[in-house]
Amino acid sequence: MKKILTLLAIAGLFSLQSCTVTDNGPVVDNTISQVFEVTTSFNSSNNYSKLITFNYPIYSSDVVLVYRLSGTTSQGGDIWKLLPETHYFSDGTLDFGYDQDYTTRDVNVFMIGNDLQSVSTDFRLNQVLRVVIVPGGYATSINKNSFEAVMSTLKLNETQIQKIQM
Protein backbone atom coordinates (compact mmCIF):
# COMPACT_ATOMS: atom_id res chain seq x y z
CA MET A 1 0.00 0.00 0.00
CA LYS A 2 2.90 2.38 0.80
CA LYS A 3 4.32 1.79 -2.70
CA ILE A 4 1.01 2.73 -4.35
CA LEU A 5 0.73 5.94 -2.28
CA THR A 6 4.36 6.83 -3.08
CA LEU A 7 3.75 6.20 -6.79
CA LEU A 8 0.62 8.40 -6.74
CA ALA A 9 2.48 11.17 -4.88
CA ILE A 10 5.31 11.14 -7.45
CA ALA A 11 2.83 11.16 -10.34
CA GLY A 12 1.04 14.10 -8.70
CA LEU A 13 4.29 16.06 -8.36
CA PHE A 14 5.14 15.56 -12.04
CA SER A 15 1.69 16.65 -13.16
CA LEU A 16 1.86 19.83 -11.08
CA GLN A 17 5.36 20.72 -12.25
CA SER A 18 4.37 20.52 -15.90
CA CYS A 19 2.18 23.61 -15.52
CA THR A 20 3.98 26.85 -16.39
CA VAL A 21 2.81 30.42 -16.55
CA THR A 22 4.36 33.00 -18.82
CA ASP A 23 3.64 36.65 -18.30
CA ASN A 24 3.70 38.53 -21.58
CA GLY A 25 2.51 41.72 -19.98
CA PRO A 26 -0.97 43.13 -19.62
CA VAL A 27 -3.59 42.46 -22.24
CA VAL A 28 -5.23 45.55 -23.71
CA ASP A 29 -8.93 45.34 -24.49
CA ASN A 30 -9.48 48.10 -27.04
CA THR A 31 -13.22 48.00 -26.40
CA ILE A 32 -12.63 49.93 -23.16
CA SER A 33 -9.75 52.12 -24.35
CA GLN A 34 -11.32 55.28 -25.70
CA VAL A 35 -10.37 58.84 -26.55
CA PHE A 36 -12.75 61.79 -26.51
CA GLU A 37 -12.05 65.30 -27.79
CA VAL A 38 -13.88 68.28 -26.29
CA THR A 39 -13.54 71.97 -27.05
CA THR A 40 -14.53 74.15 -24.10
CA SER A 41 -13.99 77.56 -22.56
CA PHE A 42 -13.18 78.33 -18.95
CA ASN A 43 -14.88 81.41 -17.51
CA SER A 44 -16.67 82.68 -14.41
CA SER A 45 -20.07 81.43 -15.65
CA ASN A 46 -18.88 77.79 -15.54
CA ASN A 47 -16.68 78.36 -12.48
CA TYR A 48 -13.60 77.78 -14.69
CA SER A 49 -14.41 74.09 -15.01
CA LYS A 50 -15.91 71.58 -17.42
CA LEU A 51 -17.63 68.34 -16.41
CA ILE A 52 -17.43 65.67 -19.11
CA THR A 53 -19.79 62.74 -18.54
CA PHE A 54 -18.95 59.30 -19.95
CA ASN A 55 -21.53 57.45 -22.07
CA TYR A 56 -21.25 54.49 -19.70
CA PRO A 57 -19.48 53.91 -16.38
CA ILE A 58 -15.84 52.90 -16.60
CA TYR A 59 -14.19 50.34 -14.35
CA SER A 60 -12.90 51.65 -11.03
CA SER A 61 -9.46 50.28 -11.96
CA ASP A 62 -9.32 52.34 -15.18
CA VAL A 63 -7.28 55.53 -15.34
CA VAL A 64 -8.44 58.73 -17.02
CA LEU A 65 -5.79 60.94 -18.62
CA VAL A 66 -6.55 64.45 -19.87
CA TYR A 67 -4.38 66.31 -22.38
CA ARG A 68 -4.68 69.96 -23.47
CA LEU A 69 -3.70 71.16 -26.94
CA SER A 70 -1.01 73.71 -26.09
CA GLY A 71 0.32 74.54 -29.54
CA THR A 72 1.82 73.15 -32.71
CA THR A 73 5.33 72.19 -33.77
CA SER A 74 7.18 73.94 -36.60
CA GLN A 75 6.23 70.96 -38.79
CA GLY A 76 2.53 71.49 -38.01
CA GLY A 77 2.09 68.67 -35.49
CA ASP A 78 0.01 69.13 -32.36
CA ILE A 79 1.58 69.54 -28.91
CA TRP A 80 -0.47 67.83 -26.19
CA LYS A 81 0.28 68.48 -22.51
CA LEU A 82 -0.81 66.09 -19.77
CA LEU A 83 -2.82 67.61 -16.93
CA PRO A 84 -2.11 68.79 -14.34
CA GLU A 85 -0.35 71.65 -16.10
CA THR A 86 0.93 74.66 -14.18
CA HIS A 87 2.07 78.11 -15.35
CA TYR A 88 4.23 80.31 -13.11
CA PHE A 89 5.09 83.99 -12.91
CA SER A 90 8.74 84.89 -13.56
CA ASP A 91 9.33 85.06 -9.79
CA GLY A 92 8.30 81.38 -9.48
CA THR A 93 4.88 81.88 -7.89
CA LEU A 94 1.77 80.21 -9.26
CA ASP A 95 -0.04 82.16 -11.95
CA PHE A 96 -2.60 79.55 -13.06
CA GLY A 97 -2.95 75.96 -14.08
CA TYR A 98 -5.24 73.19 -15.20
CA ASP A 99 -6.15 70.12 -13.18
CA GLN A 100 -8.64 67.30 -13.33
CA ASP A 101 -10.34 64.66 -11.23
CA TYR A 102 -12.48 61.76 -12.30
CA THR A 103 -14.97 59.16 -11.15
CA THR A 104 -16.28 56.07 -12.91
CA ARG A 105 -18.93 58.28 -14.57
CA ASP A 106 -17.21 61.57 -15.46
CA VAL A 107 -14.11 63.73 -15.49
CA ASN A 108 -13.99 67.31 -14.22
CA VAL A 109 -11.37 69.57 -15.82
CA PHE A 110 -10.79 72.87 -14.05
CA MET A 111 -8.46 75.84 -13.80
CA ILE A 112 -6.62 76.76 -10.63
CA GLY A 113 -5.10 80.10 -9.63
CA ASN A 114 -5.76 83.28 -7.70
CA ASP A 115 -7.10 85.59 -10.42
CA LEU A 116 -8.39 83.39 -13.26
CA GLN A 117 -10.31 86.27 -14.85
CA SER A 118 -6.99 87.96 -15.63
CA VAL A 119 -5.56 84.88 -17.40
CA SER A 120 -5.16 85.51 -21.12
CA THR A 121 -8.11 84.35 -23.24
CA ASP A 122 -5.59 82.26 -25.21
CA PHE A 123 -5.51 79.96 -22.17
CA ARG A 124 -9.22 80.16 -21.24
CA LEU A 125 -11.30 80.18 -24.41
CA ASN A 126 -11.75 77.39 -26.99
CA GLN A 127 -9.44 74.96 -25.24
CA VAL A 128 -9.17 71.55 -26.94
CA LEU A 129 -8.98 68.66 -24.48
CA ARG A 130 -8.48 64.97 -25.14
CA VAL A 131 -9.68 62.50 -22.53
CA VAL A 132 -8.14 59.02 -22.69
CA ILE A 133 -9.60 56.07 -20.78
CA VAL A 134 -6.76 53.63 -20.06
CA PRO A 135 -7.47 50.11 -18.78
CA GLY A 136 -6.20 49.81 -15.21
CA GLY A 137 -3.82 46.92 -15.89
CA TYR A 138 -2.04 48.99 -18.51
CA ALA A 139 -1.85 52.32 -16.71
CA THR A 140 1.51 51.70 -15.03
CA SER A 141 3.33 50.48 -18.14
CA ILE A 142 2.83 53.39 -20.55
CA ASN A 143 4.50 56.77 -20.97
CA LYS A 144 1.61 58.99 -19.87
CA ASN A 145 3.54 62.19 -20.64
CA SER A 146 3.33 61.54 -24.37
CA PHE A 147 -0.12 61.52 -25.94
CA GLU A 148 1.32 59.82 -29.03
CA ALA A 149 2.90 57.05 -26.90
CA VAL A 150 -0.40 56.42 -25.12
CA MET A 151 -2.27 56.19 -28.44
CA SER A 152 0.35 53.84 -29.86
CA THR A 153 0.42 51.59 -26.79
CA LEU A 154 -3.38 51.33 -26.76
CA LYS A 155 -3.36 50.71 -30.53
CA LEU A 156 -5.67 53.65 -31.15
CA ASN A 157 -5.48 56.11 -34.05
CA GLU A 158 -6.81 59.58 -34.85
CA THR A 159 -9.90 58.19 -36.61
CA GLN A 160 -11.02 56.55 -33.34
CA ILE A 161 -11.13 59.85 -31.42
CA GLN A 162 -14.74 60.72 -30.64
CA LYS A 163 -15.39 64.45 -30.90
CA ILE A 164 -17.98 65.57 -28.37
CA GLN A 165 -19.94 68.80 -28.86
CA MET A 166 -20.72 70.42 -25.51
- Cβ-Cβ contacts under 8 Å for 147 (sequence gap 6 or more): 67, 80, 82, 130, 132
| Ranges of the chain with pLDDT below 50 | 18-31
Question: What CA–CA distance (Å, rounded) separates 12 from 5?
Answer: 10
Q: Where are the domains of the chain?
A: 25-164
Strand residue runs (E) in the chain: 34-40, 49-53, 63-72, 78-82, 85-88, 94-102, 106-113, 127-134, 161-164
What is the per-residue pLDDT for 9? Answer: 56
What is the per-residue pLDDT for 139? Answer: 72
What is the per-residue pLDDT for 116? Answer: 96
pLDDT digits (tens, 9 = 90+) for 50-82: 999 998 899 999 999 999 999 999 898 999 999
CB neighbour class for 78 (10 Å; exposed up to 12, middle 13-18, buried from 19): middle
Burial code of 142-161, b = ≥16 C-beta within 10 A, e = fewer? Answer: bebeebeebbebbebeeeeb
pTM of the predicted model over 0.85: no
What is the per-residue pLDDT for 4? Answer: 59
In degrees, rounded to 5, the angle at the alpha carbon of residue 52 between the alpha carbons of residues 47 and 53 is: 130
Task: Give the residue from 133, 119, 126 showing the smallest Cα distance to 57.
Answer: 133
What is the per-residue pLDDT for 29? Answer: 47
